[in-house]
Amino acid sequence: MPKMSPDYVKAIEGGVHPTQIIETKIFARRWLILMIFVIYSASNAMQWIQYSIIANIVERYYNVSSFLVDMTSMIYMITYIPFIFPASYLLDRFGLRFAVIVGAVGTAIGAWIKVFSVSPDLFWITFIGHTLVAVSQTFVLSVPARLAAVWFGPDQVSSACSIGVFGNQLGIAIGFLFPPILVPNSDDLAVVGRGFQIMFYIVAAITSLILVLILLFFKAQPPLPPSPAQAVQRENDSTEDFIQSIKRLFTNVGYLLLLLSYAINVGIFYAISTLLNQIILEYFPGHEEDAGRIGLTIVCAGMLGSVVCGIALDKTHKYKETTLGIYFFSFLGMIVFTFTLDIGRIYVVYITSALLGFFMTGYLPVGFELAAELTYPEPEGTAAGLLNAVTQVFGIVFTILYGNLIKLLGDLWANIVLCIALAVGAFLTTIIPNDLRRQNAKF
């Protein structure tokens, strides 16, 4: 039976009269929608790092510079910046189903383009296909917070968002693990080419299957809202102007502080992920598969962190406190990672990477949820999209800075600079006002 919520007094800020009875219901179909999104997100994210994690092999096979290989990772960040605003508008204007279908189509087409790039002189084709997948990412990263709010009740929304972000992390984990396994580091370019061909065909088949699942089963929203807060959100979505929403976000001091702190944390994660192959091979030559497995360790630990933090948020609703705690431990994890790389024992790198990943990657859904709290009743997709846009800028800056510092000063001082940046981000997090607007609108 639908749940009747007559006590929604504070919804007057969103345009609902305090005496109005709001009908809500939570539908079981929400879990199917969430699971489809998870595998869709993973199919896009697993392509982000698939070249960088085998950078030395890609350089030799395609006869390209390390900068061009790094660009296959950074193109995800570069394209996100101009495309996120139209993507956020389309998400807010046409809903989840439209945005997800557009992203899935682009991801599948980009993956199939790569199938035709298996030749040492066709790097430009593989880069075109990769760029199309990167553009499609703009229809992925902003969705978890919106999907969680549209389909899930107030006591599950943080967990649902963390599971949605889990899809992105799962894809990154796959991207770390399988390319070193599928594409061998062989002196015979024909053997390497066969490895690329197998990898590209597998990815193309997976993305095509996921597109079919989305077309058949993915729905934009349930017939009734899952919470009073979402009922107000639907009303706002039908009347609010996208540009006005952006303007209000830029005048929200708490949100702006979160923009900077979130971008620093995730930007540093992007930089480390992009250059991980180079860092590991510097200390452990010939350990390409270990580089992939260490990346996998970072992300798997982060997936665990995401789920744990999402459950903790739903249980405690301590958004700022959780965010600050995770940020502090990300800083500590980076310090430990920095000063243990030169010990010469690969298992130590696995352990420190897991510590770093648990908190740094686990921070992703927590930042999304705090943004949703600070900006309610603005559309979650718009707030998350802008958050990710600034993150991509910082990701590009930190990747370029990190790479140059490694070449000029060595990885120790490069990592120390990243530690300092995380300390700044932790300080910014401490001064974010604890203004939980969405929580205040629950009753």
Give the pLDDT score at 438.
Answer: 67
Q: For position 234, what pLDDT does the model report? A: 60
The 3-state secondary structure of 309-366, one letter per residue: HHHHHHHHCCHHHHHHHHHHHHHHHHHHHHCCHHHCCHHHHHHHHHHHHHHHCCHHHH
At residue 64, the pLDDT reads 92
Tell me how far CA of residue 333 lies from CA of 30, 87, 275, 326, in angstroms.
35, 34, 18, 10
Q: Which residues contact 274 (CB under 8 A, 6 or more apart)?
A: 49, 52, 70, 73, 74, 399
Run of H or E including 22 = strand 22-24
Instruction: Identify the pLDDT of residue 199.
Output: 95
The whole-number pLDDT of residue 246 equals 79
| Residue 36, pLDDT score | 93
Q: Exposed/middle/buried for 189, CB within 10 Å: 0-12, 13-18, 19+?
A: middle
Question: Secondary structure of the chain: what % helix, strand, coil (to 5)?
Answer: 80, 0, 20
The one-letter amino acid code at 337 reads F
Q: Please tell me the predicted confidence (pLDDT) of residue 235.
A: 60
Return averaged pLDDT per consecutive 10 residues of the chain, 443 residues in all: 40 44 74 92 91 90 90 88 82 85 95 95 95 92 80 78 80 86 90 94 96 92 71 56 78 89 89 84 80 83 80 79 86 89 85 88 79 78 78 88 89 90 91 76 55
